[in-house]
Amino acid sequence: MIKKNYDSDFCGSLPLHQINLIQPYGYLFVANKSDLRIIQASENVNDLLGEPVDQVVGKSLEQFIRQEEADLLKGRFGSGIDEKVPLTINLTRSDAARRYIALVHVKSDYVVLEVEEAGDESTFLDVFQELKYVMAEINRAETVAAASKVVVEQLKKLSGFDKILMYQFDEQWNGTVIAEVKEDGMEEYLGHKFPASDIPKQARKLYLKNSYRLIPSREYTPVKLYPVINPVSNTFIDLSDCNLRAVAAVHLEYMKNMKIRASMSVRVIRDDKLWGLISCHHKEPMYLNYEMCSVFELLSSVISNKISSLESGEEYQFVNSLQEKKTQIIENVYSEKDLVAGMLKQDLKITDLFSAEGAAVSYRGSIETTGEVPDNEELKNLIYWLQSKPEDKVYHTSNLSSEYDFGSAFSKQASGMISIPVNADRGEYIMMFRPEVVTTVKWGGNPDEAINFDSNGVKYHPRSSFGSWQEVVKQTAKAWKEEEVEVAENLRSFIFEYSAKTL
Ligand code: BLA
């Protein structure tokens, strides 16, 4: 078990939205909604407009864009859409051939525009056919692994990134690389786990607002905003949904340690929750124009839907088979007119319902068992211990010895336990056991060294190596699924009633 959790404690509390700086691959304007007067802008607007920022601020955006574009922009204000909407603009002051994309964020008091040079007009059409093919390939995949492999391979072809991987979060927000394509000589992360603090919770939360995060070069000079304080809100402007937002220093160092200069990560969402990320690496700086980022965005929603439907399908089948087995066991109890015989003595036993290797039923003064279970004395002591738990709730663990002091003695056959209280006062329980499965977890670098503080205790650094670091996990069984715990709860209600009727 890894010991430290920097996710919620330290890394998770770094404020990302108030960084007040942007990356230099675009320009930022904040303007009044009423007259489009610019109230704040990034200091690099000089490159775009040929006027220093202190002269640009105070003027109206209408002085720089065409009237029809200004009208279109104003038209967006009342739409009620709170997502950033792209708008193509042509700057009247610059080379007429250059088109720009403005990402418009309509806020209650002002509007924020992120401006980037537009790509070649044909870019999207060029990739369109390729995209249709990729979408068909993704949809044909029959497993999450296969769909992930297709998406990383195809995105690598389309974008030219040196490495693309699919990263899936677990319940503790650690993540595992489940698909990877890369150039030769780059470190392999396939099958490796990374601790939650590598992408701490506030960084993960931003993917619910933004479908991707692009860092074209870690060696950039951040651009300040002018004036520093937003004159309407009198605070730093909230940049959380801006693509251009500058990058947290710790992550830039992380990229350096991973030996990459550019990165992009794209969300995979399931049931409104971040399921995973498609992470792209490049050894050299790599800029993707807005059109290409949109391709990633589109494929992110295609793969998200595919993964959702594959997983829902699997869950549906699993729940169905659990329900069928549960019904059969209840029928067995009725036909046998005996709880113990119905659960343990038929072709389909309660161990089959819970994919357990052993079960013990302590009922009406005796303990009957099937399969691999602790010995009788051990079972009795375990029951005393269970009596200290809530009497009206199923208890389950996949690491009994970490919760029950004497559990190590029988962890071979019973590292996992799910127990249904029938009548706790009388020590009546139905217990299912799963054996120990020793596993080796390959981490991308030692997770206990995920963050290292300098001796002054103020400065900190991410780990410097991502080489395979193995953790051997013992005394742990295959985890109980949520659906299995629910079935155990259903069964508890049935047994409770059955037992009351047959007293
Ligand atoms: C951001 N960390 C990220 C991001 C990724 C990772 C994908 C999003 C930005 C990006 O796309 O580059 C991590 N990248 C990974 C992992 C893999 C990968 C795990 O490819 C797996 C192969 N990071 C640390 C520590 C802290 C930390 C110790 O290592 C905190 C103290 C923080 N990571 C951190 C922060 C961000 C981040 C704050 C957000 C950076 C930003 O958006 O400005």
Q: Ligand 1: which atom is nearest the Cα of residue 14?
A: 38
CATH number of the domain enclosing 171? 3.30.450.40
Q: How many independent structural domains does the chain possess?
A: 3
CB 270 within 8 A of CB 103: no
| Minimum CA distance residue for ligand 1 atom 30 | 11
Q: What is the pLDDT along the chain (503 residues), one digit of tens a residue?
A: 566 677 777 888 888 888 999 999 999 999 999 999 999 999 999 999 999 999 999 999 999 998 888 998 888 887 666 667 788 788 776 656 678 899 999 988 899 999 998 877 665 667 788 889 999 999 999 999 999 999 999 999 999 999 999 999 999 999 999 999 999 999 999 999 999 999 999 999 999 989 999 999 999 999 999 999 999 999 999 999 999 999 999 999 999 999 999 999 999 999 999 999 999 999 999 999 988 898 899 999 999 999 999 999 999 999 999 999 999 999 999 999 999 999 999 999 999 999 999 999 999 999 999 999 999 999 999 999 999 999 999 999 999 999 999 999 999 999 999 999 999 999 999 999 999 999 999 999 999 989 988 888 788 899 999 999 999 999 999 999 999 999 999 999 999 888 888 76
Model confidence pLDDT, tens digit, residues 361-382: 999 999 999 999 999 999 999 9
**Is residue 252 domain-shared with residue 295, that is, in the same domain?**
yes
CATH number of the domain enclosing 88? 3.30.450.20
Residue 140 lies in a domain: yes
CB 343 within 8 A of CB 329: yes
pLDDT at 96: 60
**Is residue 239 domain-shared with residue 251, that is, in the same domain?**
yes
Q: Ligand 1: which atom is nearest the Cα of residue 255?
A: 12
Total residue length of the chain: 503
CA 10 to ligand 1 center in whole angstroms: 14
ipTM strictly over 0.90? yes
Helix 482-501 to helix 290-336 angle (10° resolution) is: 20
Helix 123-140 to helix 144-159 angle (10° resolution) is: 160
Residue 427 lies in a domain: yes
Q: Which residue has the tokens 């051939």?
A: 97
Where in the sequence is the domain holding 151, given as residue range(s)? 6-17+120-312
**Is residue 164 domain-shared with residue 265, that is, in the same domain?**
yes
What is the C-alpha separation between 17 and 248, in angstroms, rounded?
Answer: 10
**Is residue 231 domain-shared with residue 267, that is, in the same domain?**
yes
CA 144 to ligand 1 center in whole angstroms: 24
| Minimum CA distance residue for ligand 1 atom 4 | 199
Q: Ligand 1: which atom is nearest the Cα of residue 245?
A: 43
CA dihedral 468→466→479→316, nearest 10 degrees, is: -110
Which of 117, 148, 179 represents a domain boundary (last residue)?
A: 117
Amino acid at 194: F
Helix 144-159 to helix 290-336 angle (10° resolution) is: 180
CA 198 to ligand 1 center in whole angstroms: 5
Residue 92: which of 124, 116, 69 has the closest Cα?
Answer: 69
pLDDT at 79: 67
Model confidence pLDDT, tens digit, residues 246-274: 999 999 999 999 999 999 999 999 999 99
194 CB near ligand 1 (under 6 Å): yes
216 CB near ligand 1 (under 6 Å): no
CA 155 to ligand 1 center in whole angstroms: 21
pLDDT at 83: 67
**Is residue 110 domain-shared with residue 125, that is, in the same domain?**
no
**Is residue 300 domain-shared with residue 372, that is, in the same domain?**
no
